[in-house]
Amino acid sequence: MGEPHDVPSARELIESVREWIERDVAPAVSGRLQFHSRVAANVLAIVEREIEAGPAQAEAHARRLAALGAGSDAELAAAVRAGALDGRLAEVLDTLEPSIRDKVAVANPRYLES
């Protein structure tokens, strides 16, 4: 089955705008406008990574939550507050660490380098 939208895709459009800001806009301006251009390019890069990785990350996160007996982050937080996971701290941390890494990989993958 074909895609519902023609090319370029949303991801490709976002990438084009980000590259234009990085290549043409940010170097041509200074001060506050240059700062905001860099912020905009960074936001678009985050959106690109989220579009690319988001569905798989969401599925994996849901599986991790289910392993802890929760259907959502809110349910997990409520279980922690209620003491339902007392004595399982190591399991909770080990189970959720990959979700935290996924979030950082989207927000700023450079933080995972080293």
pLDDT in tens, 44-71: 999 999 999 999 999 999 999 999 999 9
In a domain, 113, yes or no: no
Residue 1 confidence (pLDDT) above 60:
no
Residue 14 lies in a domain: yes
Q: For residue 17, give the nearest of 6, 8, 30 by alpha carbon.
A: 8
CA distance 47 to 18: 10
Number of structural domains in the chain: 1
Average pLDDT over residues 27-47: 96
Structural domain boundaries, residue 85: 10-108
For residue 2, tell me if it sits in a domain. no
User: DSSP assignment, residue 83?
Assistant: T
